Amino acid sequence: MKKRTLIVSILVVIVLVVAAIPLLSDGGFEERNSSSIIWTSLVGEGIIAPACGSTEASVTCSGGDPVVTIATDYPGHGGSCTGVNVDISGSGVPGGSVNSGTMSCGTSWTYSNGLIDDTVYNYTVNFQTLIGGGQTCVQHKGGMSCTDNPPIPSGDSYSGTFTTPMCTPAPTATLSAIPSSITTGGSSTLTWGSTNADSCTSTSFGPVNGATAGSVSVNPGSTKSYTITCSNSAGSASDSATVTVSNPPSSASVSSSDESITIGESTTLLWSCSNDTDSSAGVNFSTGGALSGSTAVSPVSDTTYTVACSNDDGSVQDSTTITVLNPTLSISASPAKVRPGNSTTISWSATGEPDNCAVSGPSFSASGTSGSQGTGSINEQSTYTLVCLYDAVTLSDQVTVTLIPSFEEF
């Protein structure tokens, strides 16, 4: 009976040991512990543990630059997380890669320095862990014995990529030409500007030298369009302006044979247009469409005469003004009535800048545009005349001195 009992006890221990270490289909194993199931991930033992951490990378824009935030979380599988660090590598990152340094588990790391718009970056999150804890127990003849499991340093790494968005605002470009229409030989000022641009260029005018704003003078010989293109990392924008060049007649001329005339006189207008003229027209006189000619005019007041010479591209003008003199003459006698044998004083004046003036009457003669002069004895009614010459026009005025009757006794 004792031998049979011993054999049964040995079989029970074997079953318990085998039951304590069941094989897993994925090549790992688990130990039956008194507290929990613990997954190990020791390098070199060929034991593959399921992922115990998680990460998430989110990318936004801030101030026109990409910003990435990598969130870390380590729920654990019976182990504990002692720290985490993050690596980022790719274009623009100083030195090609950057590390966050050790952070507390579950910490998020935000990074922006050197990140470029619309670019793929690699990142790795490294969890530092301690695997272990709890107890391993074995059933044997004397009962079950348990030992503490020492913590084993380990870690989990997670790699991924993120793509930065286009954070740089698109550029704008403006171009204007003032004036937008000129005649041959004239000039126009091109002015350009932009927003969000790093540089501007033009192949149709210059110098631009990359400036994002400026102005330059141009004098095209014919109608021409100009373009400015401004760009940054987000793209480019262009704007255009056209300067229209016209070729009107090169000259027009009108003149008169006299700059001033006296009312009633006439003068001759002479006009001419350059050979690139198709037709002509006059203001205050008629050219009949002729490109040159002359005509007599007799204005009654100051008059401006204009000739316009035209072709398909426009017209040019010239003007001349004729001043019309409208003088006034005045002559008087003081007194205007005298007794026989008495005298009077003749006064006269003329306006309008006459060439010369003369006053005449019985036994009386004087000259000048104005003056006063006494007469001799007057014994009969007498008329005194002021005559002034204005170019080809003669004007006159008169005054008559009468006698006061004398009475005789009967």
- What's the pTM value of the predicted model, to 2 decimals? 0.48
Cβ contacts of 377 within 8 Å, gap of 6 or more:
341, 342, 343
HSE-CB of 345 using CA atoms within 13 angstroms: 5
Greatest pairwise CA separation for the chain in angstroms: 218
Element (H, E) at 395: strand 393-403
Whether residue 408 lies inside any domain: the answer is no
Asked if residues 138 and 20 have their Cβ atoms less than 8 Å apart, the reply is: yes
Nearest to 42 by CA among 159, 142, 129, 168: 129
Q: How far apart are the first and last CA of the chain?
A: 218
Domain end (from 163, 189, 223): 163
Query: Interior CA angle at 338 toward 334 and 344, to 5°?
Result: 35
| Domains in the chain, number | 4
Cβ contacts of 243 within 8 Å, gap of 6 or more:
177, 180, 181, 182, 188, 218, 220, 223, 224, 225, 226
240 shares a domain with 202: yes
Encode the chain (410 residues) as per-residue pLDDT tens digits: 433 333 333 333 333 333 333 333 333 333 333 333 232 332 322 223 334 455 678 888 888 889 999 888 776 555 677 888 999 999 999 999 999 999 988 888 999 999 998 899 999 988 887 766 556 677 666 777 777 666 666 677 888 889 998 888 899 999 999 999 998 889 999 999 999 999 999 999 989 999 999 999 999 999 999 999 999 988 999 999 999 998 999 899 999 998 888 888 899 999 999 999 999 999 999 999 999 999 999 999 999 999 999 999 889 999 999 998 888 999 999 999 999 999 999 999 999 888 899 999 999 999 999 999 999 999 999 999 999 998 778 899 999 999 998 765 54
281 shares a domain with 240: no
Domain that holds residue 142: 2-163
Whether residue 299 lies inside any domain: the answer is yes
Whether residue 409 lies inside any domain: the answer is no
12 shares a domain with 68: yes
Whether residue 342 lies inside any domain: the answer is yes
**What is the layout of strands, in order, in the sheet containing 172-178?**
172-178, 188-195, 214-218
Query: Interior CA angle at 267 toward 262 and 273, to 5°?
Result: 140
d(CA 39, CA 48): 9
Backbone angles phi, psi at 93, to 5 degrees: -70, 130
Domain end (from 246, 275, 301): 246
74 shares a domain with 156: yes
d(CA 130, CA 148): 14
HSE-CB of 276 using CA atoms within 13 angstroms: 11
CATH of the domain at 352: 2.60.40
CB neighbourhood size of 275 (10 A): 8
Residue 180 DSSP label: S
257 shares a domain with 149: no
233 shares a domain with 258: no
